[in-house]
Structure 1
Amino acid sequence: MPSDLAGKVVFLTGAASGIGRGTAIKLHSLGAILVITDINEAGIADTLQLCGRNDAGRHTGLILDVSKAADAEQCVAEVVAKHGHIDHVFNCAGINPTSMPLTETSEAYFDKLVGVNLKGTYNITKATMPHMTAPGGSYVNVSSISGWNPTMGTAIYCATKFGVIGFSKCMALELGPKGIRVNIVCPGYVDTPTNAGIAKGTAAARTAMEQGNALGRMGTPKDIAGVVAFLMSNEARYMNGSVVGVDGMLRT
């Protein structure tokens, strides 16, 4: 596993649970300096504890609503005041869908998903860009298998995840000449609290998720975290604008 992430400042969103937390733990094990953000204060504290909270204040936890541009700017300003720069960004904050026909969705539901999943990625990218290490910095943005494989009843969610891919590829073109890479991970069914909600706690729904790929199991946050760490590392130095599926080979 790459060791060149030691001492690098990594800004993570959505890191209070699930994939964000798993990635924070992985990056901590590789010696990175973490900025752990989320709207869930208790979850931030738990992630910090799992990443060695008492490690001489190495890591920072900050409450952040990524859908609010002013909050993103303020949070990034605090990070830059402490560290002076940012090496890598993991845009992981997101809201999973509720399956329903479009006619049953509300404007509030649309605004919530777009605000966090897509605008949140935009807000954090825009706020961090002036402070990124160049060359050598990178972004890893979270889309989904729903970002390339649409599913019935999730039109708004799919739109946000397709949007993350399009936005990220444009940023790869814009930032590539500065030596800053932008890549995308598309997780499949991952065993996280938010996916547990989608499964509605039923054995049949979980079984359907497990059988939805060739490996016959749901992924884990650790499965995604290893790919994220690789994409941030120098081992992926010629990967830019890449969309990486981490889904056990989705059955379609």
Structure 2
Amino acid sequence: MSQRYSGSVALVTGAASGIGRATAARLRDEGARVAGLDLTAVDVDGVLPVTADVSDEAAVAAAVERVAAWGGRLDLVANVAGVAAYAHTTDVTLAEWDRILGVNLTGTFLVSRAALPHLVAARGAIVNVSSLAGVRGWRYSAAYSAAKGGVVALTRSLAVEYAPVGVRVACVCPGSVDTPLKAGLQPVPNPHPRLEGRGGALVDPPVADPDEVAAAIAYLGAAEARFATGAVLRLDGGAGA
């Protein structure tokens, strides 16, 4: 495998499972020293486990400083941590709204903000994970769609602000991916029949493997993707074509 990350230090959030775990392993295999941050223990060979809640400002600041001190630098942040739930909008409590935005959007902001001084020094990169739900309407996902749409807007804003100092920012928008997050989603009661099956992938199989998303993250975070800053890459199997 290419060693395009040799000598680099990367921080991956949500690294205990799914896309985050696959991304941590991919970056490690490409030569990076990788720290994996999650609420639960990260068990990936060769990856430094860091436990923190991405929606906790103080915990995030401490975790990022720990990783930067451990690695001596910080070249890449992959913001993968996320939570989701299906619900009729009238059933979404304020607590649930705050939880979903807190992890997906506020967490992405807090980790990025804490890492930016180190990334400026290294002329590094941020790759955020949004979702197909962040760029098109998605059924029964008001809070999740709002959060992931915010990640897209945050990505573009940071890309513009930090391009002059050499920091690249991009994001990927996966459709359906075979992860524990997807497996844990519960269907809503009494869905409208016209919404069933809306937005499905056209490829076979119609569900992506986490490694496919990790490969895209590894590309966007690498120096060869210099001209992709601000990019919003849809990985949806043709669902939005």
Alignment TM-score, normalising by the size of structure 2: 0.91
Partner of 2:18: 18
Report the Cα offset of residue 216 of structure 1: 2.6
Cα separation, 2, equivalents of 1:116 and 1:199: 19
Cα separation, 2, equivalents of 1:152 and 1:71: 33
Partner of 1:132: 119
Of 76, 83, 93, the residue aligned with 1:106 is 93
Cα separation, 2, equivalents of 1:108 and 1:86: 34
Runs of 5+ in structure 1 lacking a partner?
53-58, 201-207
Partner of 2:224: 235
Cα separation, 2, equivalents of 1:102 and 1:149: 17
SS of aligned partner of 1:198: coil
1:71-90 to 2 correspondence within 5 Å? 71-90=59-78
> CA-atom RMSD, angstroms?
1.8
Partner of 2:176: 189
Partner of 2:142: 155
Alignment TM-score, normalising by the size of structure 1: 0.87
> Which one is further off, 78-87 or 181-190?
78-87
Contact 2:74 2:122 in 1 (8 A): no
Report the Cα offset of residue 247 of structure 1: 1.4
Report the Cα offset of residue 237 of structure 1: 1.3
Partner of 1:170: 157
SS of aligned partner of 1:34: strand
Cα separation, 1, equivalents of 2:2 and 2:155: 23
Report the Cα offset of residue 97 of structure 1: 2.1
Report the Cα offset of residue 128 of structure 1: 0.6
Q: CA distance change for structure 1 residues 198 and 216 in 2, over 3 Å: closer, same or farther?
A: farther
Cα separation, 2, equivalents of 1:224 and 1:199: 23
Contact 2:73 2:122 in 1 (8 A): no
Partner of 1:66: 54
Partner of 1:91: 79
> Which one is further off, 12-21 or 191-200?
191-200
Cα separation, 2, equivalents of 1:81 and 1:136: 17
Cα separation, 2, equivalents of 1:7 and 1:15: 20
Report the Cα offset of residue 142 of structure 1: 0.5
Contact 2:9 2:73 in 1 (8 A): yes
**Is residue 2:199 matched to residue 1:214?**
no
Report the Cα offset of residue 83 of structure 1: 2.1
Runs of 5+ in structure 2 lacking a partner?
188-195
Cα separation, 2, equivalents of 1:166 and 1:197: 27
Contact 1:37 1:61 in 2 (8 A): yes
1:75-111: CA deviation from partner (whole Å, max 9, x where unpaired): 112112222321000000000222x221111011011
Residues paired across the two proteins, number: 231
SS of aligned partner of 1:11: strand
Partner of 1:32: 32
Contact 1:13 1:20 in 2 (8 A): yes
Contact 2:33 2:71 in 1 (8 A): no
Contact 1:138 1:180 in 2 (8 A): yes
Write the letter of the residue equivalent to 2:6. A
> Which one is further off, 229-238 or 156-165?
229-238
**Is residue 2:121 matched to residue 1:142?**
no
State the identity as a percent: 37
SS of aligned partner of 1:3: coil
Q: CA distance change for structure 1 residues 104 and 22 in 2, over 3 Å: closer, same or farther?
A: same
SS of aligned partner of 1:191: coil
> Which one is further off, 4-13 or 128-137?
128-137
Q: CA distance change for structure 1 residues 71 and 118 in 2, over 3 Å: closer, same or farther?
A: same
SS of aligned partner of 2:227: coil
